[in-house]
Amino acid sequence: MPKQDPMDRSSGYLKKNLETLPQKKRSEYLNQKLRGIIQYAYKNSVAFKNKMDSVGLKPKNIQTIKDLEKIPITKKADLVELQKKNPPFGGYEGVPISEMRRIFVSPGPIHEPGEMEYVELGWAQGMYAGGFRPGDIVINTFSYHMVPFALHMVDNSLHRVGCIVIPTGVGNTEQQVNVLKNFKATGFCGTPSFLLNISEKAEEMGLDLKKDLDLRVGFVAAEMLPESLRSKLEEKFGMTLRQTYGTADIGCLGYECMKKNGMHIPDDKILEIVDPETGKQLGPGKTGEIVATTFNKVYPLIRFGTGDLSIMTETSCPCGRTSPRLIKIMGRVDQVTKVRGLFVHPGQADEVASKHPQIAKYQVVVTRKEHKDEMEFYIELKEEVAQPDKLKEEIERSIRDVMKVRGDVQFVPKGKISEGARKIEDQRTWD
Ligand SMILES: [Zn+2]
The three state secondary structure string of 237-273 is HCCEEEEEEEECCCEEEEECCCCCCCEECCCCEEEEE
What is residue 357's predicted lDDT score, i.e. its pLDDT? 94
Ligand 1 centroid–CA 61 distance in Å is: 34
Ligand 1 centroid–CA 369 distance in Å is: 45
| Share of residues in the chain with pLDDT > 90 (%) | 82
* 171-189 pLDDT, tens digit each: 999 999 999 999 999 999 9
Ligand 1 centroid–CA 90 distance in Å is: 37
Q: Could you tell me the pLDDT band of residue 261, with boundaries at 50, 70 and 90?
A: very high
Ligand 1 centroid–CA 367 distance in Å is: 41
What is residue 51's predicted lDDT score, i.e. its pLDDT? 97
> What span, in angstroms and rounded, lies between the C-alpha atoms of 84 and 88?
8
Ligand 1 centroid–CA 122 distance in Å is: 14
The b/e string for 284-321 (b: 16+ C-beta within 10 A; e otherwise) is eeebbbbbbbbbbbbbbbbbbbbbbbbbbeeeebebeb
Ligand 1 centroid–CA 188 distance in Å is: 21
Ligand 1 centroid–CA 19 distance in Å is: 10
Ligand 1 centroid–CA 256 distance in Å is: 7
Share the mean pLDDT of the chain: 94
Ligand 1 centroid–CA 354 distance in Å is: 25
What is residue 223's predicted lDDT score, i.e. its pLDDT? 85
Ligand 1 centroid–CA 263 distance in Å is: 8
**Element at 229 (helix H, strand E):** helix 227-237
This prediction has a pTM of 0.85
Ligand 1 centroid–CA 319 distance in Å is: 4
Q: Could you tell me the pLDDT band of residue 431, with boundaries at 50, 70 and 90?
A: low
Average pLDDT, integer, range 347-376: 91
* 12-49 pLDDT, tens digit each: 999 999 999 999 999 999 999 999 999 999 999 999 99
Q: Could you tell me the pLDDT band of residue 338, with boundaries at 50, 70 and 90?
A: confident
Ligand 1 centroid–CA 132 distance in Å is: 15
